[in-house]
Amino acid sequence: MHFRSFKIKSVDKSNLMANSYTTIKDLIRFLDDVNRCKQIERKESDFFKLTNDLDDVLDKYYISFKNNSELREQVAYNYNLIKDMSFPDSKGDHIYVKDLSNHSKPNYSNEQYNNYALFVHSYLMRDFEEKLGLKKEIKRNKITVKNKKIFKILERVNLEIDFLKEGVTVTDFINVLTGASEKEIHLNIDNRSFYYLLTKTKEYFFNFSYTAVANTNKIYSKRGTLMKVKSLRNSKSEYPKHEHNIDRILNSFI
C-alpha cells in the first residue's frame, strides 16, 4: 500500500499535518494488514485511539491543508484505500482503554485486533464520506441503538441536569435520533454541553454522526433555534458547563 505525502509551507501546519497524517497512515496500514489477515505486530498502547482521540486527530488533520481542494483530494485518496475493506462483525465488546501507568505493548488477540479494525474502519468511512459529501451513502445508515443501557444513562442525565425541556422524554429524544419519531426536541442545556453529551454517549449507537443528529431537523437549542450541522460542530468546547456532571454519571454506569 502506498501513501502520498503533501508539502505544507507553514511550519506550524507542517508539524500539525505530520503528526495527524502519520497517525491516519498508520491506522490505514493496520486496517490493510488485518484485512489481509497478516500477522499483527504488538502495538504501543497509544496506537489504540478511542472516539475522542480519533475526533481530535481528524480535526487537526482537516485544518492542516492549505485549501479545500487539497483536503478533498487527500481524503478521497484515503477513502479509496479503505472503502472495499471488510471486517467480520464483533461477537463481543472489546473496549480499548489506554492505561497511562502501563507503557508496555498490549498483547491483544486476533479477534480483538479485528474488533478494533472494525471500529476504526467504520469510524473513518463515516467521517470521510461526510467530508466528501457522499450523502446518499450516509443516509442509508441511520442511527440505531447499539446498547440499550443508553436509555437508563440519559434518564439519569436528564434527572440531574434537565437536558430536555418539560414535555420531552428521553425516549422521545432517542426515537428522534433513530428516525422513529417526528416530535420536536427542545433542549434545556447550552449547545456546548449538548455537544459534549453527544460525544460521551455516541458509542452507545450504531452509525452515529453529528451530521445525522442535526439532519433530523427536530432538535432545537435552549434558545429555540433549530440545530444545524454547523452550529452543532461549532459547539465543541474544552470546558462545557456540565462536563463534570456528565462524566460522573457516565462513570457510574461503567
Residue 39 has pLDDT above 90, yes or no: no
For residue 166, give Cα distances in angstroms to 110, 118, 177, 186, 187: 48, 39, 18, 9, 9
Output the pLDDT for position 45.
Answer: 74
Angle at 77 between CA 71 and CA 83, to 5 degrees: 125
Helix (H) or strand (E) holding 74: helix 68-82
In the chain, the percentage of residues whose pLDDT exceeds 70 is 83
Q: Give me the phi and psi of 250, to 5 degrees please.
A: -65, -40
What residue ranges do the domains of the chain occupy? Answer: 11-136, 144-251
| Overall pTM surpassing 0.75 (yes/no) | no
The pLDDT value recorded for residue 227 is: 93
Q: C-alpha 120: how far from its chain's center?
A: 10
Query: Which letter does DSSP use for residue 133 in this model?
Result: T
Above 70 in pLDDT, residue 95? no
Dihedral angle of Cα 198, 200, 202, 203, to the nearest 10 degrees: 180
Task: Tally the C-alpha atoms within 13 A of residue 101's C-alpha that lie toward its C-beta.
Answer: 0
| Amino acid type, 210 | Y
